[in-house]
Structure 1
């Protein structure tokens, strides 16, 4: 189960002239390399929910992506592309000498992990895709379905504000808050690691790549779609999502059906943060997958 712990090492890495900060836990020969969501979020929430894997003998590595947390925060929007983040991820893996890793990507980190797996397949033992998608246009349709559950009057109100550019209006923000508590984290009190990440959110990368909130995708990734390329990913893949996830089970199934060696687990009573919302349902699935794909000495 998750708990907060201090990293064994905090490493500063030069990435294209910028400082990126990584955190390492444990000394196991098998490394779980975590790519957190956002974009623009510090890695706190994913780091703190997965550092506990050291209890099973794994090394766990996470890093604050450029523009987040303790890493440098340049303001050039040209930096906020998935291709540059793929190159950054490989620079971090190389700098830390991680060798082949179990790559774990959550949400936006899953999109990044998919593109990384297609670019550097030789560096992966397994791929773990958590609460993520491979087809953004399909996700946008699913988000419209989730929004529709608020009722036609509320949806019309949201569309009005989006068209006018007044998405900071209290009634629009109230609708987004309801959606967040339904589909991002269903706990009445969000755990401290989530709160820390959200409090330090850099909206520069987020707005450029995704959009202004979790339910409106208008950034440079709005047309991103890797479904046709998924058959090229031949390592074992674990897909997890919450039953109420904003990145829905239908999106998860689309990935599974196009991957040659994938298993899908939908976590009950959870949305986008199953490791916090239903740890009893989440961790056994992850640990079983990792145990089945450990390298036998």
Structure 2
């Protein structure tokens, strides 16, 4: 679920007034992955969130919005997917309290339903009738919650690096610990105990877990464009305060407000034929766990990114883009065929 990159790395629906300030930016492809067509600051409950759009709403295929992980993460891990804007508008944003968005740091805002309402505020402000919602990690839970709450506005929902249930996630990560070398696994267990060793002992073991399941050593180095993008659009970056409050100190134990979170009951409320699960071969979101979710979503599809971990979008960018591109094109074609038949 939680895209927490080792804590050091970048990893009641209430009325909302949505107001945006739009700026058309000059083209400068040398310094960015892809310069935005427009940027917006959209008023949501609790503050304003930063939104960027590539393409023109109302032109091209059905738009897509990408929902980052965390909680407390940022949109930047989706930057390499802006190439999808050659056929459809691509919308990226930072959730309240992270990245380029406002940081009121009010715990009252850190509720799943408020994050879902945040998405709806963005949709209304941009004038999107229907869109694809692609969520990664924590974002996949928000994508499912949004699809269940607003089916009329959801063309499809992609649940990638899938987190839908804390108990499933914790069970999965603890099973993955068993697959590590015995000494590493023993150290992690000790570090999760009451009398934890010093950080100098725990950090290398946790790093070994991440190297296996969330950022594999063979991942490509960041491109100059990616580095320039982070420098320009990273904002205040990952918000550790939100992560700790909603999740907890490690991937292996949830002590925050999401400790009892479980969205699996929503799976019967969505159209399974419009749900795609995507995981990496070595993902923290274990394939067998996600297969259980697929079984609860009749008609849903599952894609596995070969050689990818939880960070598969960065590790296997071409495969990831192809999966998302093909999925949305097929859904759009199906919708067009239905409309023609009517």
Give me the TM-score of the superposition, normalised by structure 1.
0.90
Task: Tell me the residue number matched to 1:11.
Answer: 40
Larger Rg: 2
Aligned pairs for 1:140-219 within 5 A = 140-164=170-194, 169-186=199-216, 187=218, 190-191=221-222, 193=226, 196=230, 200-219=237-256
What is the CA-CA distance between 1:241 and the residue it aligns to? 0.5
What is aligned with 2:305? 267
Q: How far is 1:198 from its partner?
A: 11
Which secondary structure does the structure 1 equivalent of 2:104 belong to? coil
By how many angstroms is 1:288 displaced?
Answer: 1.6
CA deviation string 1:150-202 (max 9, x = no partner):
34543343333333475871211111111111111213555365994698210
Other-structure match for 1:39: 71
Q: C-alpha separation between the residues in 1 aligned to 2:280 and 2:235? A: 20
Residues 12-60 of structure 1, C-alpha deviations (whole Å, 9 max, x = no match): 11112511110100123410111011111121112x12211012x1100
Report the equivalent of 2:10.
none
Partner of 2:81: 50
The answer to whether 1:106 aligns with 2:143 is no
Counterpart of 1:221 (choices 258, 263, 279) is 258
User: CA separation of 1:169/1:9 partners in 2, compared to 1, >3 Å: closer, same or farther?
Assistant: same
Structure 2: stretches of 5+ with no match in the other structure: 1-31
Residue in structure 2 matched with residue 124 of structure 1 by the alignment: 154
SS of 2:100's partner is: coil
**TM-score normalised according to structure 2 size:** 0.79
Matches within 5 A, 1:227-242: 227-234=264-271, 236-242=274-280
Unaligned runs of 5+ in 1: none
Cα pair 1:77 1:204 within 8 Å, conserved: no
CA contact (8 A) 1:135 1:251 kept: no
Q: Confirm or deny: 8 A CA contact 1:133 1:255 kept in the other structure.
A: no
Question: Does the 8 Å CA contact 1:34/1:61 hold for their aligned counterparts?
Answer: yes
The verdict on how the C-alpha distance between 1:41 and 1:276 changes in structure 2, with shifts beyond 3 A counting, is: same
8 Å contact from structure 2 (residues 100, 237) kept in 1: no
Counterparts in 2 of 1:38 and 1:54: CA distance versus 1, 3 Å: same
Q: Secondary structure at the match of 2:48?
A: strand
| Cα distance in structure 1, aligned partners of 2:252 and 2:219 | 20
Q: In the alignment, does 2:331 pair up with 1:293?
A: yes
Return the alpha-carbon distance in structure 1 between the equivalents of residues 158 and 198 of structure 2.
35
How many corresponding residue pairs?
293
Q: Determine if the alignment matches structure 1 residue 24 to structure 2 residue 61.
A: no
